[in-house]
């Protein structure tokens, strides 16, 4: 079948547009027969992916960053008849800044290797997460984490992962926090929080492990929250959010990490929220999360 490549040229501040000829050459060299659709405005990858799925293109390939992959999955889900209908196969050409999903899945970052994985056609079923009426494949959050995303959007003088680190420090110094009520299948929490984060994969923002024990193949949401009252205390906690294993912030006093099939989040005041790095609301108070185990077939390196 003919593949449909959905290119987001803006990914990594227009780096995706500059690297597309290299990516196209890699796909052709790997023997992938494809048609190209280029996004020309914000969120258009959703529309393009929905159209491609309805037209029967297979696989659908997201060429961009984490936000592009997430929007392509949302488009594929729009074309499905229900949340029970499998999605995919989905291929990824990593052209983003952080490419967190690719790293979390162990997919290749090199364009030639990524094209070969797509050409081989091997798939693995991974979980898809849903918040309200939107889908995501890597992570979502409300509170400080998306607040920092809004800060980094305003930073124009730094490129790459360094932008996220500078934004994190600036956002923490602003010291936003909320009171939250959480309910899930297995518990509840009520109290002050800096954020609530939900991970399908452990890494986000290139260097942060906000849900360090998340596994996109375990059929569970992994969520975490934490609180520190003063910016200095938060800054001391920040380096521990960069630890993928022992010593991560979720082990600290005032933090919690858990697993669930569903999660309800209520904030006492509006806060920003994101999915896969893309802000979907700058002011929201209520979110409902659930897991769709093994719903997405992703093109994956052959397993021994």
| pLDDT greater than 70 at residue 67 | yes
- Give the mean model confidence (pLDDT) for residues 83-106: 96
Q: Are 114 and 223 in the same domain?
A: no
For 257, half-sphere exposure in the C-beta direction (CA atoms, 13 angstrom radius) is 17
Cβ neighbours, 10 Å, residue 184: 18
SS3 30: coil
DSSP H helices, the chain, are: 11-29, 44-54, 66-79, 100-105, 111-120, 144-154, 162-174, 231-237
pTM of the model: 0.94
Domain end (from 74, 93, 121) = 121
Q: Are 227 and 168 in the same domain?
A: yes
CATH number of the domain to which 19 belongs? 3.40.50.10330
Q: Are 173 and 249 in the same domain?
A: yes
**Paired residues of 182 in beta bridges:** 189, 265
Q: Does residue 301 form part of some domain?
A: no
Task: Please give the mean pLDDT across all residues of the chain.
Answer: 95
23 within 8 A of 115, measured Cβ to Cβ: yes
CATH number of the domain to which 194 belongs? 2.60.200.40
pLDDT, position 90? 98
Rounded CA-CA distance 16/232 in Å is 37
pLDDT, position 196? 98
Q: Does residue 298 form part of some domain?
A: no
Rounded CA-CA distance 197/265 in Å is 10
Q: Are 67 and 183 in the same domain?
A: no
Quick one: tokens of 192?
């002050």
How many structural domains are present in the chain? 2
DSSP class of residue 303?
Answer: P
Q: Are 105 and 188 in the same domain?
A: no
Per the structure, the complete domain to which residue 162 belongs is given by 139-293
Q: Are 284 and 180 in the same domain?
A: yes
Q: Does residue 273 form part of some domain?
A: yes
Q: Does residue 300 form part of some domain?
A: no
pLDDT, position 304? 47
Rounded CA-CA distance 184/59 in Å is 35
Rounded CA-CA distance 66/10 in Å is 12
Q: Are 171 and 71 in the same domain?
A: no
246 within 8 A of 252, measured Cβ to Cβ: no
pLDDT, position 121? 97
Rounded CA-CA distance 34/271 in Å is 41
Confidence category of residue 79, pLDDT binned at 50, 70, 90:
very high
Q: Are 149 and 247 in the same domain?
A: yes
| pLDDT greater than 90 at residue 222 | yes
pLDDT tens track for 15-30: 999 999 999 999 999 9
- Give the mean model confidence (pLDDT) for residues 163-186: 92
Cβ neighbours, 10 Å, residue 108: 15
187-193 and 278-299 strand pairing: unpaired
């Amino acid at each position: 079948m003919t593949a449909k490549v959905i290119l987001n040229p803006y990914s990594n501040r227009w780096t995706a547009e500059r690297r597309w000829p290299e990516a196209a050459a890699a796909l052709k060299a790997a023997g992938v027969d494809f048609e190209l659709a280029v996004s020309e405005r914000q969120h258009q990858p959703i529309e393009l992916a929905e159209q491609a799925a309805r037209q029967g293109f297979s696989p659908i390939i997201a060429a961009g960053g984490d936000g592009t992959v997430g929007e392509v999955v949302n488009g594929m889900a729009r074309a499905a008849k229900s949340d029970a209908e499998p999605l995919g196969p989905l291929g990824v050409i990593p052209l983003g800044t952080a490419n967190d999903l690719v790293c979390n899945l162990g997919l290749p970052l090199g364009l030639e290797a990524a094209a070969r994985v797509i050409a081989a056609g091997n798939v693995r079923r991974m979980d898809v997460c849903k918040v309200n009426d939107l889908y995501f494949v890597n992570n979502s959050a409300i509170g400080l984490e998306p607040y920092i995303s809004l800060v980094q959007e305003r930073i124009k003088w730094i490129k790459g992962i360094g932008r996220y680190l500078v934004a994190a420090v600036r956002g923490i110094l602003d010291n936003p926090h909320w009171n939250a009520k959480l309910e899930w299948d297995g518990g509840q929490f009520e109290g002050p929080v800096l954020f609530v984060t939900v991970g399908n994969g452990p890494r986000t923002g290139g260097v942060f492990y906000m849900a360090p024990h998340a596994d996109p193949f375990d059929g569970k949401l992994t969520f975490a929250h934490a609180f520190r009252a003063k910016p200095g205390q938060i800054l001391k906690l920040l380096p521990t959010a960069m630890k993928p294993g022992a010593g991560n912030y979720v082990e600290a006093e005032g933090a919690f990490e858990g697993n669930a099939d569903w999660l309800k989040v209520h904030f006492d005041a509006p806060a920003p929220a994101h999915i896969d790095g893309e802000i979907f609301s700058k002011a929201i108070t209520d979110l409902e999360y659930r897991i769709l185990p093994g719903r997405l077939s992703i093109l994956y390196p052959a397993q021994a």
